Amino acid sequence: MSEGRTVLITGAKGQLGWELQRRAPQGYTLIAVDADVLDITNTDKVLDFVSQHKPTVIINCAAYTAVDKAEHESSLAYAVNALGAENLALAAHDLAARFVHISTDFIFDGLQTRPYATTDTPAPLGVYGASKLEGEQRVMEAYDQSAIVRTAWVYSAHGHNFVKTMLRLMRERDEVRVVADQIGTPTWASHLAQTVWSIAKHKMQGVYHYTDAGVASWYDFAVAVYEEAQALGLLTRDVAVRPIRTVDYPTPARRPVCAVLDKSALWAMPEINVAHWRVGLRQMLQDLKNYAQ
């Protein structure tokens, strides 16, 4: 980024917010806030805060991400994911600041047999996906120069995610059963953060897809967690990882069966990190090991 050195990161205590701070380019002033300082659903507060601090870039990592709870808390999910996103887009528009907003593969139904292009028609299966889709639409209506980055299956050493849940279960149980008929791409939040910084730096606008490379079922992902954690000494006991069907693990929210995103546009950029998801997993587990020492 050549001019303008103040970047507002919302949802800063979340997985991506944390990795964005860790991966921030040198020389930039970060205003990294979470709901305790800036509740993005409060329109007046968002507009006041942004006009007071005058960031040149706003990156919105704040979101209601509890996919199952969203089915019973739809008002809150829409408030954060739709209204909150629109508030930030309006504030960015007022200042002519760059705005980067994060969205999800859950806007798709996952019934397609090829990777989803950014132009494919969304069809969310649940409240979370629908609220995120409305967020995308309200962002673009408020400020059509925004950038929206859809991603999937995000994990980091910081925060709550599938990898940390698997590690906990594998330390407690002799057998772990994991859904094998939902396909996607695990994405290390640190790789995603580097991509988001590139998008901000290049003043990109429009909708983009970014995940790590390759595909996996949740079962494949769990097997990889087991093998990589064993290799790093994070797990020292034998655990059987067994594949099960989605119908054998009912959840309040339906999930896309196959939501692989087509990342070709971003992958064509030389500076975008194209790493297999297993490489990201290894690095995240190494982070966990380092923090434990």
Ligand X SMILES: NC(=O)c1ccc[n+]([C@@H]2O[C@H](COP(=O)([O-])OP(=O)(O)OC[C@H]3O[C@@H](n4cnc5c(N)ncnc54)[C@H](OP(=O)(O)O)[C@@H]3O)[C@@H](O)[C@H]2O)c1
Nearer of residues 105 and 228 to ligand X, judged by Cβ:
105
Question: Residue 190 interacts with ligand X (CB under 6 A)?
Answer: no
200 within 8 A of 141, measured Cβ to Cβ: no
Binding test (CB under 6 A) with ligand X, winner from 153, 208, 219, 226: 153
Active site residue 208: no
- Is-contact 259 211, C-beta < 8 A? no
**Between 210 and 239, whose beta carbon lies closer to ligand X?**
210
Residue closer to ligand X, measured from CB, 13 or 23:
13
Closest residue to ligand X, Cβ-based?
14
The answer to whether residue 13 forms part of the interface with ligand X (CB under 6 A) is: yes
Catalytic residue among 64, 116, 128, 226: 128
User: Which residues in the 251-290 window bind ligand X by CB under 6 A?
Assistant: none
Which own/partner contact pairs does 235-241 have at CB distance under 8 Å and 24+ positions apart? 235/167, 235/170, 235/171, 237/170, 237/171, 238/174, 239/170, 239/173, 239/174, 239/175, 239/176, 240/174, 240/175, 240/176, 241/170, 241/175, 241/176, 241/178
E strand residue ranges, the chain: 6-10, 29-33, 57-60, 98-104, 147-151, 154-155, 175-179, 183-184, 187-188, 206-209, 216-217, 240-244
The minimum distance between CB 158 and ligand X, in angstroms, equals 8
Distance CA 180, CA 255 (A): 13
CB of 160 to ligand X, least distance (A): 7
- Would you say 61 or 272 has its CB closer to ligand X? 61
List the one residue from 7, 9, 16, 259 that touches ligand X (CB under 6 A). 16
Nearest-approach distance from CB 195 to ligand X, in angstroms:
12
Smallest distance, ligand X to C-beta of residue 21, A: 12
Query: To the nearest whole angstrom, how small is the minimum distance from the Cβ of residue 210 to ligand X?
Result: 10
Q: Per CB under 6 A, which of residues 90..109 are in contact with ligand X?
A: 102, 104
Using CB under 6 A, which of the segments 15-23, 111-119, 177-185, 247-255 binds ligand X? 15-23
In DSSP terms, 191 is beta-bridged to: none
Residue with Cβ nearer ligand X (108 or 226): 108
Among the listed residues 155, 270, 251, the one whose alpha carbon sits nearest the alpha carbon of residue 212: 155
Residue ranges in 81-188 assigned as alpha helix (H): 85-95, 127-142, 162-172
In the region spanning residues 29 to 88, those forming contacts with ligand X, defined by CB under 6 A, are 34-35, 39-41, 61-65, 80, 84
CA-to-CA dists, residue 171 to 56, 217, 221, 222, 225, angstroms: 45, 21, 17, 13, 12
Q: Which residues are catalytic?
A: 128
Question: For binding to ligand X (CB under 6 A), which residues are involved?
Answer: 10-11, 13-17, 34-35, 39-41, 61-65, 80, 84, 102, 104, 132, 151-154, 159
